[in-house]
A and B are shown apart, each in its own frame.
Chain A
Amino acid sequence: MAETVLTNPGQSPAPLEGWRGIAADWASDQRAFKNVSWGKAMMWIFLLSDTFIFSCFLLSYMTARMSTTVPWPNPSEVFALNIAGNHMPLILIAIMTFVLISSSGTMAMAVNFGYRRDRVRTAILMLVTAAFGATFVGMQAFEWTKLIMEGVRPWGNPWGAPQFGASFFMITGFHGTHVTFGVIFLIAIARKVFRGDFDVERRGFFTSRRGNYEIVEITGLYWHFVDLVWVFIFAFFYLW
């Protein structure tokens, strides 16, 4: 074991698998996460903490909805739209879901091309992802405007339990903020990729460190997490 911890993990003998592997990794010196760079490990730990934040929002929504004696507004009707004379329940949310899933797909492709060191394709796919994200935020702004015009406020609404507005604005607002930051993050990294920073190992402006294509995967982790949170919001807030 002493040999394993002293040499670079990339050159160490085949690591143990299964429960023995977990015990060995966590008991070893210096680092518990073999094969994972500090950047990726820290993004995962950040996402774990973000999971708790969204869990708390969804839990408070659950508590409000379960404990109220006033009927909860029917999301299927609240978020319905009339398109070309057809009454479509929840259609806007369905489109937003598909937009976000499409963006997750293009992001996964970007990560793949990043590891193939295909600079142009990676940057284009990241920008497409950012465009999908911006579309999502735009549709959310439309949704908010529509609801506010109809009289939904954090303290009340025309259809039922007053906590509906507070839960809605808090949960979707926080998620929309995450999407917005994700779009900014994507554009910043796509610019670096396109400029060839990771091919010529240009030093970062803030960190003075040489970057590499793993940052595309780390950006992707954040982006997929945003999509993941939407899966839960879609199920619990819009469909339940």
Chain B
Amino acid sequence: MTNAAVHMEERLHAPAHGAVATEAVHAKGQQHPIKLYLVVWGWLFVLSTFSYLVDYFGLHGYLRWSLILLFMMLKAGLIVAVFMHMAWERLALTYAILLPPVVVLVFVSIMVLESEYTHFLRVLFFATPS
């Protein structure tokens, strides 16, 4: 049996021996009450409805964008934290996976500057602005 399999077997069968709460969770292999999943599921539906309503009521400008981003981040957070069990993983994994995507924001800011510059040149030389 591989190392990983041995590890798993112990997590599935051995009684919870961890001193810390997270250890006890892992001893059973990510066992959480079904109610938690149902509550998160319900919230995902509610948040999706809200983001659809943003479009349905035709909100626009900064109100629209901030609401879209708010509902998006809440949904993403719920999915990653509960459905993907990130909330119960050790911080070494959490930070290794969640920090690199944040650095994408640097790329975003570079491309925002770049596209504004491109837009400026296009307005200047080619077309009427929109």
Chain A residues engaging chain B, CB cutoff 8 angstroms: 8-11, 13-15, 17-19, 21-22, 25-26, 32-39, 41, 44-45, 47-48, 51-52, 55, 59, 62-64, 66-71, 76, 89-90, 94, 97-98, 101, 104-105, 107-109, 111-112, 115-117, 209-210, 212-214, 217, 220-221, 224-225, 227-228, 231-232, 234-235, 238-240
Contact = CB atoms under 8 A, between A and B. Distances in A.
Interface residues of B, number: 79
A41 B93 contact: yes
A108 B83 contact: yes
Given A10-B10, A26-B92, A217-B30, A69 B119 contact: yes
Contacts of A67: 114-116, 118-119, 122
A112 B45 contact: no
Nearest to B23: A14
A83 to B, nearest CB: 14
22 contacts: A10-B7, A14-B19, A21-B91, A22-B92, A32-B96, A34-B90, A35-B26, A59-B104, A63-B111, A67-B122, A69-B122, A90-B56, A98-B48, A104-B41, A105-B38, A210-B1, A212-B5, A224-B84, A228-B79, A235-B69, A239-B68, A240-B68
A69 B129 contact: yes
A62 B113 CA distance: 11
A35 B79 contact: no
A62 B18 contact: no
Contact of A104 (B32, B83, B118): B83
B116 A66 contact: yes
